[in-house]
Amino acid sequence: MSEKVENKKAESEQAQNQHPISMYLKIWLLLFVLSSFSYMVDYYQLQGVLRWSLILIFMVLKAGLILAIFMHVKWERMALKLVLFLPPGAIAVFIIFMIIEANYINWNRLVSYLTL
């Protein structure tokens, strides 16, 4: 019994180092397929909301796979995950501010061109 626990302990310590190579090949293939899909979005000239949503979906999936598997975040402790994923929340807020600002500037430019 204690031997089993010992084994499991050793396993969890070594877990991230002992993944089979086949796992990396599978993820690599998956990233290849996802990249092909996102290239297809452009190749077939999809437009509008469909284009934008597909681009974002493939982007998030690829980024998630790279982070989780290649960068081993999946096997890291929660304390590190918080360090990595909490601060970028500020970026999300910043992006929202910049969208509002960009729309405002665009509107002002259009108005000033009309009144010139």
Partner 1 sequence: MASNEDKPMEDKAWQGVVKDWSEDKETFNMPWGKLMMWFFLLSDTFIFSIFLTSYMNVRMSTTNDWPNVSEIFSLVIAGHHIPLILIAIMTFILITSSGTMAMAVNFAYRGDRKKTVILMVITALLGASFVGMQAFEWTKLIVEEGIRPWGNPLGASQFGASFFMITGFHGLHVTGGVIFISVIAKRVHQGVYEKRGYSIVEITGLYWHFVDLVWVFIFALFYLW
Q: Report the alpha-carbon distance of residue 2 to residue 6 in Å, rounded.
A: 6
Q: Report the alpha-carbon distance of residue 82 to residue 71 in Å, rounded.
A: 15
The residue (of 18 and 115) whose beta carbon lies closer to partner 1 is 18
Q: Which of 60, 81, 59 is nearest to 71 (CA)?
A: 81
The residue (of 43 and 115) whose beta carbon lies closer to partner 1 is 43
Binding site for partner 1 (CB under 8 A): 5, 8-9, 12-14, 17-19, 21, 24-25, 27-28, 31-32, 35, 38-39, 41-43, 45, 51-52, 55-56, 58-59, 62-63, 66-67, 69-72, 75, 77-80, 82-84, 87-88, 91, 94-95, 98-99, 101-103, 105-106, 109-110, 113
